[in-house]
Amino acid sequence: MVKELRVNEKILGREVRVLGENAEQLGVMTVAAAKELARRSSLDLVEVAPTAIPPVCRLMDYGKYRYEQTKKEREAKKGQKMSLLKEVRLRPKIGEHDYEAKVRSIQKQLEAGDKVKVTIMFRGREITHSDLGIKILRRIAEELADVSIVEGQPTLLGSRIHLMLVPKPGAKVKTKEGQPENAQAKNP
């Protein structure tokens, strides 16, 4: 969100330090004289540093300045990658093939840049063997150590044990098409 600055008539105080359009010093003058200078040059007087003594104002086209700031914000927002939190649920008595399929699924999600919450769900008296769930979580963490970082220890909440896996910062992130993000497109 663009920070609202005081412009022209909203500037308070008696004296201000004025900067020109190209940030050159024009000196300290009264607010009325600075407003008149801005009016003559068809620009706005914008207070850029209100806490300075005297406050610093700059001659600029405020509409153009706001447009450029919102454009920069949009570009910065576009450059950010939203990391989603995915959850993969397992049971303590999971078969070997099912386990391997879940690990592959977790690895794909980590390579896509998403955080993964691995949950072991217990039913009934299975919770008495919570050590089995912790062993499974540790095994997953070891197998995925090359693409992930374990965030915290396995935590028991009710009848579930959770473990958070975060993608490694240096690992290659794959886009939706399955190509690494930094790969060059080949021309046919």
Q: What is the pLDDT of residue 6?
A: 84
Residue 137 is predicted with a pLDDT of 93
Q: Give pLDDT, residue 117.
A: 95
Task: Please tell me the distance from the alpha carbon of residue 106 to that of residue 182, in angstroms, as a whole number.
Answer: 22
Q: What is the pLDDT at residue 2? A: 62
Buried-state track 12-22, b at ≥16 Cβ within 10 A, e below 16: eeeebbbbeee
Beta bridge partners of 25: 19
**pTM score, two decimals?**
0.53
All domains of the chain, ordered by start, with CATH? 8-78 (3.10.20.80), 85-167 (3.30.110.10)
Averaged pLDDT, groups of 10, the chain, 188 residues long: 77 87 87 88 88 89 89 83 85 94 94 92 91 92 92 90 90 56 47
Evaluate the CA torsion angle 9, 13, 14, 17 in order and state its sign: negative
